[in-house]
Amino acid sequence: MSKIKLIALDMDGTLLNDDGVVTPYTHDVIQQALQRGVEIVLSTGRPLSLCATYSEELNLSSYIITSNGAEIWTTDHEVIERHPLNAKKIETLWQLGNERNLHMWLVATDQIFVNARRPEKFTDHEWLKIGYGNLTEVEKTELLNELNNVKDIEITNSSLTNIEINKFGINKAYAIETICKRMDITMGEVMTVGDSLNDFKMIKQAGIGVAVKNAQQLILETADFVTDTNNENGVAKAIEKYVLKQE
């Protein structure tokens, strides 16, 4: 097993407990890893505006992966890469949800549209992703059948009741690979921790892919190791096992 040089952490359901906070215990373990020279990167479906404060709280100083890999930022908030969806495609995806009266959120580089709200002109914005939430199993199945007819999109989720769409080929694993190249690190030297389908590829492709115990079944089956839940400091325990105790 290669020595871990970079740790990529999903946020919701993984790093954050159900109250949306990083526990003092997890914070302390992350500081210990940083002091040993291990790079730690937030890898989230959230836009930068909803995760930057956590990066600062944890004293991170390299990169932040946002919107499922649609953007890569430095911790100084300089955008390194951006992979937008075509405006016409976003409009098509919005119409699919609107016809079914679904709860939606649309993430642009300059604004977030929630509660199925749409812009006056889709072409006035640069689009990062769209999400459909609060889905029943029937709604999810019907929507996925429709989405299978839409070309060049990446379909994931961040919970069992939602579906998230990015540009095809854009995901957290792709973003981590980009960061690795910039830092001269291999994917074999990366540990990832996550819980949902938008974490699947980064867990599968990392040297050590870790699932929290509360993860979706596919993630539990794919991971190299299952740690405790997000409410039981699962991230901290994985870092202790594969980084701190390997010293």
Distances, alpha carbon 182 to alpha carbons 126, 137, 175, in Å: 25, 41, 11
Question: Which two three-digit tokens encode residue 47?
Answer: 């836009």
Taking the whole predicted model, whether its pTM rises above 0.95 is answered as yes
H or E element, residue 183: helix 172-183
Distances, alpha carbon 13 to alpha carbons 171, 211, 244, in Å: 18, 10, 23
Superfamily of structural domain 6-82+171-246:
HAD superfamily/HAD-like (3.40.50.1000)
H or E element, residue 105: strand 103-108
What pLDDT score does 116 carry? 83
For 41-81, write each residue's pLDDT tens digit: 999 999 999 999 999 999 999 999 999 999 999 999 999 99
For 195-210, write each residue's pLDDT tens digit: 999 999 999 999 999 9
Question: Which two three-digit tokens encode residue 156?
Answer: 């994931």
CATH of 87-167, one of 3.30.1240.10, 3.40.30.10, 2.60.34.10, 3.20.20.70: 3.30.1240.10
Outline which parts of the chain fall under CATH 3.40.50.1000: 6-82+171-246
Beta bridge partner(s), residue 113:
106
- CA 39 to mean position of chain CA atoms: 17
Outline which parts of the chain fall under CATH 3.30.1240.10: 87-167
Question: Which two three-digit tokens encode residue 155?
Answer: 């379909």
- Residue 68: name the closest of 201, 180, 214 by CA: 201
Q: How far apart are CA 158 and CA 107, in angstroms?
A: 15
Q: Which residues are identified as catalytic?
A: 10
